[in-house]
Amino acid sequence: MPTAFGAESTTDDVLAGVDLSGKRVLVTGVSAGLGVETARALAAHGATVVGAARDLKKARAATEVVRADAKNGGSLDLVELDLASLASVRACADALVAAGKAFDLVICNAGVMATPLGKTADGFETQFGTNHLGHFVLVNRIASLIKDGGRLVNLSSAGHRFSDVDLDDPGFERGGYSEFAAYGRSKTANILFAVEFDRRHKARGVRATALHPGVIQTELGRYMTPEIMAAMAASLAESAKTAGASNFSFKTIPQGAATSVWAGAVAAADEVGGRYCEDCHVAELQEDPNARGGVRAYALDPDRAKALWAKSEAMVGEQFS
């Protein structure tokens, strides 16, 4: 079995020989793409997976492969979750808490990307509200269900390098909205949330990490025109050339989901806790705009993480210990 994994590793590579029987995992966004593959790989290795999705009819159809591949007691149950509505988020969390079944791992996989300027049901900018605040409330409300020694995995993105969070104007009320700047803010928030959650919970062995799955052609890009996609691919190819790397190519979905299962079920907790991962390894700090990989220092800043936590609590009207 390989001792090291990389950009081309798949979920099956990473989980080869791993028995997840008896493990219970929550995965958000299981109606397409990475969420379905993440759930499939985990259930195929014996995990009991709870998949959350906004559209349950779509999720049931999309996850037939999960049920078909489940082995060694692996299974999948679905719960309704609309991250763009805190009423839905709270209802989902309350139902999970009422059921009282603990989780070994929570993977916050769902998200939106490069959406037109809009607002969630609660009036938050769509990407920040969906990608960060929805998960912030969900995870904190079910934190007591995460077992001692458990783990939280937040799917962020290399797109965090587009922008730091703006705690003074998270909703672009002062204007200047940019689809990718908003995406960058939300993805930076995903990392900072993991940093602070890790700090707050590591005394009981619960560790949190964030990651970049890679650039994959999934439904996440449904708001991007073919012209934007082509321009993005060209930019990535140029960055690869500048960095002296091989030509850029999209990852497959199994390759894209590999870092999620690696960080959640394979990597050592102390290795990934409070860190940012990519290509099945912990990323290094990187400020070079031409570099392909790495994480910006602002996304791992512990003081920034604490400030975002306080701002998020104020925005959603809840405080979490």
Among all residues, which ones are annotated catalytic?
177
SS percent in the chain: helix, strand, coil, step 5: 45, 15, 40
Which amino acid appears at position 177 of this protein? Y
Q: In DSSP terms, which residues pair with 119 in a beta bridge?
A: 125
DSSP 154: E
Listing DSSP states for 78-140 in one string gives: EEE--TT-HHHHHHHHHHHHHHT--EEEEEE-----SPPS-B-TTS-BHHIIIIIIIHHHHHH
Which residue, chain included where needed, has tokens 């995965």? 27
Return the number of other C-beta atoms located less than 10 Å from residue 230's C-beta: 11
- What tokens does 269 get? 């907790």
Question: Could you tell me the sign of the dihedral formed by the alpha carbons of 42, 46, 52, 58, in that order?
Answer: positive
- Residue 113 gets the label, from left (phi > 0), alpha (psi -120 to 50) or beta, of beta
